[in-house]
Structure 1
Amino acid sequence: MSQKLILDHVDKVFGDGESSVKVLDQVSLEVKAGEFVAVVGPSGSGKSTFLSIAGALLSPTRGRIMIDGSDISQVTEKKMNRIRLKKIGFVFQSSNLIPYLTVRDQLLLISKLAGSSNNKAEQRAIDLLQRLGLKHRMNSYPQSLSGGERQRVAIARAWMNDPEIILADEPTASLDSERGRTIVKMLADEVKSREKAAVMVTHDKRMLDLCDRVVYIDDGKLSELT
């Protein structure tokens, strides 16, 4: 299996001189196609910074980030934006849906930003909503959806541009156990069936059996658990 995501001896330091803080310390991780990895650790351990760097939202102070074979560690902001749109799908703790857009338009906006054709995007949106059991909600606004429905819309949005890598930040935090497990199972099934690579930061240990590996982060250092 090919490696979709590689973090190679990554450091992240915020600030300068004596006031600087090292948030990530020699972090290395490889995630293969078809692999779903969970990252666990206490609050303040570096999980959010780790995910931001893996998702090209932050650049590392040192080390390399490889996405689908390309080193993105020091690319321009413009190229970074293209990588995020084309290669990476984000699922956040709260769904972060735009309140004045319908479910359908949440998805079409992502394709528009990536420059996809309208007809193909429309069909892609319908297919995704059908897969996630939301086709009947395509003209609804976020305020009329349940918490589980909003998170499924967020997943559909993350998948809209068929990314190689899926990054999820506490995707079950606002959901009860049953709905949370449904969401994580959807992510796991997508990873396996379509040979994606996924990393999920979570506090919810009840979801870890759905992942292939679990890594632990504390004080900015990463270690393998399973």
Structure 2
Amino acid sequence: MENPKLQLKNVSKFYHDGEATIEVLKDVNLEVNQGEFVAIVGPSGAGKSTFLSIAGALLTPSAGEVFVDGEAVTNLSKKKLTERRLNQIGFIFQGANLVPYLTVFDQLMVLPVLGGNRSGGKTFANQLLGELGLAQRKNQYPDRLSGGERQRVAIARALMNDPAIILADEPTASLDSERGRKVVEMIATEVKRKNKAAIMVTHDERVLDLCDRVVKIEDGRLIEAR
């Protein structure tokens, strides 16, 4: 049986508020395999953002374990966790979150510079910009880009470390239906073309047909939808 690229096993997250305990995630289990694109849907406050943060090793669960490529990452040191995120996980944040004083090209170069691969990173950055139709915009700053272009830059940046896992948080939120669909199509294509695993948190039901599975989250619990 194929080992999942990403696995959450009996994951819970709770916070203490005085004498009360607030449960955000409750005994969550999920496996995502190579070449699989999974959508997580649910109402606001259901735990989607917390789920994605734990899946990406940005937040530690209160109970349970997270596995990346078969390795438990829950109890790794901060340094090791940073290395895993840098080398294995690509994040696409809602609203692109580009650095206003960096050009498109320099946005992409942040990760290879941090990873010590500046020269190889330049070649890959140019390749990605070409694939995403941004080659002519490489020297522009974010305020000179359209919403769709900014989101494509965010996708390119997330792919710069050639991650095994892609995590996208509401990638269509600031886009119209046509541009939003194109963005999700780009993610789906990357997943299939390079055999990656991806999770997308979304409210946008218009793009769910591009995903292999849809999982609902309600009151901190995952429910398989299809």
Measured against the shorter chain, the TM-score band is: over 0.9
Correspondence for 1:160: 160
Aligned residues: 225
- How far residue 16 of structure 1 moved from its aligned partner, in angstroms, is 5.9
Quote the offset at 1:19 in angstroms.
Answer: 2.5
Which ranges of 4 or more aligned residues in structure 1 deviate by more than 6 Å? Answer: none
CA drift of 1:17 comes to: 6.2
| Residue 22 (structure 2) aligns with | 21
Instruction: Normalising by structure 1, report the TM-score.
Output: 0.98
Q: Provide the residue aligned with 2:209 in structure 1.
A: 209
Q: Where does 1:118-197 land on structure 2 (aligned, <5 Å)? A: 118-197=118-197
2:9 aligns with: 8
Please, which moves more after superposition, 75-84 or 36-45? 75-84
The percent of aligned pairs where both chains have the same amino acid is 60
- Give the Å deviation of 1:114: 1.8
Unaligned runs of 5+ in 2: none
- Distance apart, 1:115 and its partner CA: 2.0
More off after superposition, 77-86 vs 172-181: 77-86
Distance in 2, matches of 1:93 and 1:109, equals 19
Aligned twin of 1:224: 224
Of the structure 1 ranges 144-153 and 9-18, higher mean CA displacement relative to structure 2 is found in 9-18
1:25-36 residue pairs with structure 2 within 5 A? 25-36=26-37
Aligned equivalent of 2:95: 94
Larger mean Cα displacement after TM superposition, 205-214 or 106-115: 106-115
Superposition deviation, residue 2 in structure 1 = 3.4
1:49 match: secondary structure: helix
Report the secondary structure of 2:19's partner residue. helix
Give the counterpart letter for 2:181 in structure 1.
R
> What is the CA RMSD across the aligned residues, in angstroms?
0.9
Classify the secondary structure of the residue corresponding to 1:3: coil
- Alpha-carbon deviation of 1:69? 1.2
SS of match in other structure, 2:84? helix
Structure 1: any 5+ residue segments left out of the alignment? none
Distance 2:134 2:3 in 1: 33
Partner SS for 1:20: strand
